[in-house]
């Protein structure tokens, strides 16, 4: 359940009360002005009365330029403003603004008064505005957002991905009584649910709530905590009275034992309890927060694999960037849900949300879908020596805001950051210590791109992640074998995850003529090479439990505003799905056939329709028996099995001149599956990467 949903549930639950927490949508009727500006701050009446664009939130000003123009996009300040009035019933209440995400640094003013600032594009923050609000008249909130790269705010550049500017996630206006569950605890829900000693026999649950008395005197209150099962039935409850001092935030802790719990079993049974914490004063509920509870135990064991509740669990992993074509990062629940639907459809069991904190909607849906989640901060690509404080701040926010999501098993600390190695190593070790202080029960991870165990910035976290792109950025596709075997032999104690692998694939680039490596600096990124890479490398990963989890890069194409590669500006083409989400590449179906429990029959290379050779091969992915294939109605001999049990190859197929209709069929478990593709052969030709350099991009069939 998302923070947004939790707040709304709390609001609805208190509808009958005279007073209490209320959460209002604050997303509509904003005005916007983008820089650059000749000078700041802008206090003159002429400027403020000038032309403003009417927008609704979520909004970004980089949805087009950051996705289409290489190193030619606007980064810098912009202003948002909105007029609002408080309800008469709000007089005497406390008032807060909660921003789910502003890219990248924000200053917030209410009625010309600075009420707070925030550094970091990806975490939520809440600001109390009580002292600045006019409860009887019109108010104006102004947000200065700035996404210019800074050496003291991670990520410190736009190299690996673009930091979209704007108020790109929802905003909420929250009102509470003088006494309430803390709203401004680093953007957290103010309630922390931890668990220990989890088994099918019992589970220990601890609920900590931070309570804030904003009045001038002690307040007698009752703290109620109720745990309910998935059907809404009360399982455990506690009710205690306390006198809440106004001298600082107070923490109240309640311990429970749940006998014979229904465990959260990932995608197989993502069972959720709920924890309701409410404050009662004078017999009336004055505040309430609801949080999810999934009872589970994660283990990563060197050389053996990943275990959920003591049972071996398959870690079929993808990664996800949050941006969409022509939307940037300004997404609604519709786009987030569509991405998760695709991730579930391909058969993934785990997701690395790279390289930053993503929408709470995402984590909440993963709770209920059963996806095991890697969450991380954007300490990536480059070190400046000035990001120490902000890296700690963003990690603290990531953990506190997402502490209660049962889907999250690990906190990512860094990705491919190196020199100066002493500083980077010390910073990573300090982040690890912070994570273990905030959340002792989850693992931490750091990620290296060199693929060696004893690199100077390695071994500062519970899990060592390594990104390897054999055949793409280095060596040849099949060199993955020697790499894994060497680590298994020399470092059997190491808990290792393969955190990125794959290759770019442009669906407009097609060829049969492929070697074992590709020069990624060329403008030619054939989809068929991407497919070849994934076919072999997943087959190797599947045989090695030494790789505790693997995460292919990437589920979706995404914007890289500093790059121009593969014939497309500002694009990373390593996704299994195109940037606009309309086209699923062959690799998508490779993983779906290998991972998913759904029936799959798929003939590859349907976009490689203008064939280069008369004698060729046909590859079919089929997870329901052995496929039967006919060419122009003529049955082909039984195929040979390829790298995995779903991989079938029909060799030495001789095409007819002109049209060639390939029909595949299989019957398995009472299901009849079929697939058909059309190829054309009009003579021998050569579209190999070596021949492509001086030709136009091959497109469309």
Separation CA 449–CA 500 (nearest Å): 9
Separation CA 110–CA 81 (nearest Å): 10
Under DSSP, the state recorded for 638 is: P
Is the pLDDT assigned to residue 14 strictly greater than 50? no
Quote the pLDDT of residue 50.
83
Nearest to 467 by CA among 527, 417, 411: 417
| pLDDT tens digits, one per residue of 98-127 | 999 999 999 999 999 999 999 999 999 999
| pLDDT tens digits, one per residue of 646-657 | 999 999 999 999
Q: 145 Cβ partners below 8 Å, 6+ apart?
A: 77, 78, 79, 80, 102, 103, 104, 105, 106, 165, 166, 167
Is the pLDDT assigned to residue 530 strictly greater than 70? yes
Work out the average pLDDT over 123-148.
Answer: 97
Q: With 0.75 as the threshold, say if the pTM is over it.
A: yes
Quote the pLDDT of residue 163.
98
Separation CA 533–CA 263 (nearest Å): 37
Mean pLDDT estimate for the chain: 94
**Cα dist. 283→222, 252, 280 in Å?**
9, 19, 6
Quote the pLDDT of residue 694.
53
Is the pLDDT assigned to residue 42 strictly greater than 80? no
Separation CA 553–CA 38 (nearest Å): 42
Quote the pLDDT of residue 10.
41
The alpha carbon of residue 298 and the mean position of all alpha carbons in its chain are separated, in whole angstroms, by 20
Work out the average pLDDT over 661-686.
Answer: 94
Separation CA 400–CA 438 (nearest Å): 8
Is the pLDDT assigned to residue 700 strictly greater than 80? no
Separation CA 142–CA 117 (nearest Å): 12
pLDDT category at 693 given cuts 50, 70, 90 is low
pLDDT category at 521 given cuts 50, 70, 90 is confident
pLDDT category at 43 given cuts 50, 70, 90 is low
Give bridge partners of residue 352 from the DSSP assignment.
Answer: 319, 374
Please give the structure tokens belonging to residue 365: 């849906």
Quote the pLDDT of residue 542.
98
Separation CA 675–CA 30 (nearest Å): 50
Under DSSP, the state recorded for 655 is: P
| pLDDT tens digits, one per residue of 169-226 | 999 999 999 999 999 999 999 999 999 999 999 999 999 999 999 999 999 999 999 9
Cβ atoms of 547 and 538 closer than 8 Å? no
Quote the pLDDT of residue 12.
35
Catalytic residues: 416
Separation CA 393–CA 391 (nearest Å): 5
Is the pLDDT assigned to residue 7 strictly greater than 80? no
* DSSP three-state, residue 505: coil
């Amino acid at each position: 359940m998302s923070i947004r949903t939790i707040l709304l549930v709390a609001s609805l639950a208190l509808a009958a009360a005279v007073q209490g927490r209320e959460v209002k949508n604050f997303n509509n009727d904003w005005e916007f002005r983008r820089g650059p500006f000749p000078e700041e701050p802008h206090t003159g009446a002429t400027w403020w009365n000038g032309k403003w664009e009417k927008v609704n939130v979520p909004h970004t000003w980089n949805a087009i330029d950051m996705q289409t123009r290489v190193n030619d996009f606007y980064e810098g300040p912009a202003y948002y403003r909105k007029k609002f009035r408080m309800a008469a019933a709000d007089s005497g209440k406390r008032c807060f603004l909660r921003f789910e995400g502003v890219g990248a640094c924000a200053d917030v003013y209410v009625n010309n008064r600075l009420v707070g600032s925030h550094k970091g594009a990806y975490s939520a923050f809440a600001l109390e505005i009580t002292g600045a609000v006019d409860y009887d008249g019109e108010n104006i909130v102004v947000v200065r957002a700035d996404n210019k790269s800074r050496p003291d705010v991670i990520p410190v550049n736009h190299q690996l991905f673009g930091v979209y500017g704007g108020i790109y996630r929802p905003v909420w206006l929250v009102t509470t009584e003088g006494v309430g569950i803390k709203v401004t605890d680093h953007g957290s829900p103010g309630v922390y649910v931890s668990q220990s000693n989890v088994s099918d026999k019992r589970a220990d649950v601890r609920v900590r709530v931070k309570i804030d008395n904003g009045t001038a005197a002690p307040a007698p209150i009752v703290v109620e905590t109720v745990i309910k099962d998935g059907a809404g039935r009360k399982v455990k409850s506690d009710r205690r009275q306390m006198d809440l001092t106004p001298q600082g935030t107070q923490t109240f802790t309640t311990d429970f034992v749940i006998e014979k719990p229904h465990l959260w079993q990932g995608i197989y049974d993502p069972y959720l309890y709920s924890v309701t914490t409410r404050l009662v004063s004078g017999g009336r509920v004055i505040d309430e927060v609801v949080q999810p509870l999934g009872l589970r135990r994660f283990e990563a064991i060197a050389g053996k694999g990943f275990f959920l509740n003591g049972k071996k669990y398959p870690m079929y992993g993808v990664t996800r960037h949050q941006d969409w074509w022509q939307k940037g990062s300004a997404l609604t629940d519709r786009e987030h849900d569509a991405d998760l639907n695709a991730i579930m459809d391909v058969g993934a069991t785990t997701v690395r949300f790279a390289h930053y904190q993503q929408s709470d909607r995402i984590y909440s849906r993963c709770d209920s879908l059963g996806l095991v989640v890697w969450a991380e901060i954007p300490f990536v690509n480059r070190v400046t020596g000035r990001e120490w404080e902000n890296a700690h701040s963003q990690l603290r926010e990531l953990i506190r805001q997402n502490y209660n999501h049962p889907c999250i098993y690990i906190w990512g600390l860094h990705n491919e950051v190196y020199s100066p190695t002493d500083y980077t190593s010390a910073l990573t070790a300090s982040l690890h210590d912070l994570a273990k202080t905030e959340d002792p029960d989850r693992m931490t991870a750091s990620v290296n791109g060199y693929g060696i165990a004893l690199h100077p910035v390695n071994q500062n976290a519970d899990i060592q992640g390594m990104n390897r792109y054999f055949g793409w950025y280095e060596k040849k596709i099949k060199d993955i074998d020697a790499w894994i075997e060497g680590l298994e032999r020399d470092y059997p104690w190491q808990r290792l995850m393969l955190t990125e692998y794959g290759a770019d694939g442009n669906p407009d680039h097609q060829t049969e003529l492929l070697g074992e490596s590709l020069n990624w600096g060329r403008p030619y990124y054939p989809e068929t090479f991407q497919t070849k890479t994934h076919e072999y490398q997943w087959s190797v990963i599947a045989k090695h439990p030494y790789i505790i989890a693997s995460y292919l890069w990437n589920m979706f194409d995404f914007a890289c505003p500093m790059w121009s590669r593969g014939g497309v500006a500002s694009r990373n083409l390593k996704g299994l799905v195109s940037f606009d989400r309309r086209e699923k590449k062959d690799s998508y179906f490779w993983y779906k056939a290998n991972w998913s429990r759904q029936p799959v029959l798929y003939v590859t290379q349907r976009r490689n329709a203008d064939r280069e050779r008369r004698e060729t091969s046909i590859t079919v992915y089929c997870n329901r028996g052995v496929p039967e294939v006919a060419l122009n109605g003529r049955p082909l001999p039984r195929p040979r099995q390829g790298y995995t049990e779903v991989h079938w190859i029909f060799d030495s197929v001789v095409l007819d001149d002109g049209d060639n209709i390939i029909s595949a069929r299989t019957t398995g478990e009472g299901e009849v599956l079929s697939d058909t593709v059309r190829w054309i052969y009009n003579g021998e030709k050569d579209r190999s990467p070596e021949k492509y350099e001086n030709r136009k991009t091959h497109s469309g069939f």
